[in-house]
Amino acid sequence: MRFLTIPLIASLMMLWCSLPARAQEARQYTLSQVYRIALKMNEEIKITEEQYQQSGHAITKARSAILPHLSFNFLANHYDRSVTYDISPEVSLEIFPQNAYTMTVSLGVLLFDGGRSWNLYKGAKTNKEMTGNNLRLTRQGILLAAAAAYYIVIKAQKEVELTRQYLELAEKQLRVAQSRFRVGEVTKTAVLQAELDLLNSRRELIQKENELQIAKDRLSSLVGIEGDYQLTEPTSPPIPEGSLDELITLALQNRLELRNNSLNQRLANLEIQNARGRFIPTVSTQASFLRQSVLFPSKEYASIGINVAVPIFDGGLGIAEMREAKSMQVQARLSRDRLVKDIELDVTEAYLGLESLTEAVKTLEKQVQLAEENYQLVSRFFAVGEATSLELSQALNALDRARKNLTSLRYDRHLAILNLQKVVGIFAAEYIY
């Protein structure tokens, strides 16, 4: 029994030791995972989803005005006595029984109202389509904001890593300066300069770690991630293919704002038709069947009626609605012209901005390479007494700045690609539909 217990305890201890690593691995998030969490947890998206649900109920309400209305009514009464009519001493007729009931079945049908009810139904369906586009735009905006917050965290993580590398180089520089000072090859100034660089690197490391924590808290607040976590290094997103003119054409086809503008024009046309319908008579019919326990005037009977309502004077309401609808139509058309210009400008700015960042990244990559070579040369020269401590410090700081600038610019380029995808209308299409 003892031989079985020892392996069991060892297995449990190994499992226990592996739990933190697994838990830490489970806290790694990719950009795609952050997108999915944001879609589930973000409050603004949930609010827009409720608005979309409400627009579906509005369709049902509008359709109810077109469909027939069927109702059933039952009324039962108990009287203190029945009412009878004596026809002769031997024959009596019960007019009102002590327990009486009335059942009524009614059917109402709208026959014609100038198309207003049908236009309201089509308007509700159009409004649902617009609300669906607004939901997609909200998702798109939140996901782009989540991507920006994600890259800010990635930047902060990378800057912490680079600052630690800078700290290691500063420590190495201090050891070299102290070693050379002990043998009398450099003055105390070189040691003091190295100590100053080390202190600055430690201070900067604390600052970068705090900035990382703030960035992670902001991403958690936006997306809904709880607890501590780490983010996976993202790959460069695909750049939309095509020339500037081709991307502008693609944007005019895909942008949801333009689709909503077309739907707004459709709603304006429906409002014009509704306003015209106010001048047209409304025809409806009502059929009913009644059955009761009372014999007078009849135990059961049916009826059907037609109601015709002719508008004569409404105080100018119909004319005002007509003018308002035409004004909405003109406004929608002008808004489309303005929106087309804005989209063309957005695509142009995003396209040219991405080109500038791409060239800047290439330049900084060369600058980092030169800074690394310069630091290696100055470091070797300092070790043999051919470079001063100030020159070594300047080379180290130049290398640190070049590395951080390159890292920041690379991630800015990733965001610029995502922004170009958004203005073209293809960003996060697999998530928002």
What CATH number is associated with residue 376? Answer: 1.20.1600.10
306 plus 376 within the same structural domain? no
Domain assignment present for residue 7? The answer is no
| Residues 233-246: tens digit of each pLDDT | 999 999 999 999 99
Query: Of the candidates 296, 313, 330, which is a domain's last residue?
Result: 313
In this prediction, residue 297 carries a pLDDT of: 66
Distance CA 215, CA 209 (A): 10
210 plus 297 within the same structural domain? no
Domain assignment present for residue 2? The answer is no
Beta bridge partners of 100: 77
83 plus 189 within the same structural domain? no
pLDDT over 90 for what percent of the chain?
57
Domain assignment present for residue 6? The answer is no
101 plus 247 within the same structural domain? no
Q: Among 10-14, 155-159, 272-276, name the one with the lowest average pLDDT.
A: 10-14
321 plus 388 within the same structural domain? yes
Domain assignment present for residue 207? The answer is yes
**Phi, then psi, of 73 in degrees rounded to 5:** -130, 135
Domain assignment present for residue 52? The answer is yes
Contact criterion met (CB below 8 Å) for 135 and 48: yes
433: helix, strand or coil: coil
Whether the CA torsion 369, 371, 372, 373 is positive or negative: it is positive
Domain assignment present for residue 253? The answer is yes
Report the helix count and the strand count for the chain, using DSSP H and E: 10, 8
In this prediction, residue 15 carries a pLDDT of: 46
Q: Residue 112 belongs to what H/E stretch?
A: strand 99-112
20 — pLDDT class (breaks 50, 70, 90): very low
Is the pLDDT at 345 greater than 50? The verdict is yes
In this prediction, residue 296 carries a pLDDT of: 65
Is the pLDDT at 22 greater than 60? The verdict is no
Q: Could you tell me the pTM of the whole model?
A: 0.81
Q: Write the CA distances from 70 to 67, 75, 288, integer angstroms.
A: 10, 17, 9
418 plus 358 within the same structural domain? yes
Residue 391 domain boundaries = 28-67+113-278+314-432
Q: Which residues have a Cβ under 8 Å from the Cβ of 207 and sit 6 or more positions away? A: none
| Residues 116-132: tens digit of each pLDDT | 899 999 999 999 999 99
Distance CA 351, CA 416 (A): 9
Query: Of the candidates 295, 313, 331, which is a domain's last residue?
Result: 313
| Residues 305-342: tens digit of each pLDDT | 999 989 888 888 888 888 988 898 899 999 999 999 99
Owner of token pair 């589930």: 40
The count of structural domains within the chain is 2
Domain assignment present for residue 103? The answer is yes
Contact criterion met (CB below 8 Å) for 278 and 317: yes
Owner of token pair 């409004």: 127
Is the pLDDT at 26 greater than 80? The verdict is no
β pairing state of 99-112 and 282-292: antiparallel
300 plus 393 within the same structural domain? no
**Pick from 399, 402, 408, 407: nearest CA to 197:** 399
369 plus 265 within the same structural domain? yes
The distance from CA 355 to its chain's CA centroid, rounded to whole angstroms, is: 28
106: helix, strand or coil: strand
8 — pLDDT class (breaks 50, 70, 90): very low
111 DSSP 8-state letter: E
Distance CA 283, CA 409 (A): 69
143 plus 76 within the same structural domain? no
Beta bridge partners of 362: none
170 plus 299 within the same structural domain? no
Q: Residue 321 belongs to what H/E stretch?
A: helix 317-383
357 plus 240 within the same structural domain? yes
Domain assignment present for residue 22? The answer is no
300 — pLDDT class (breaks 50, 70, 90): confident
83 plus 199 within the same structural domain? no
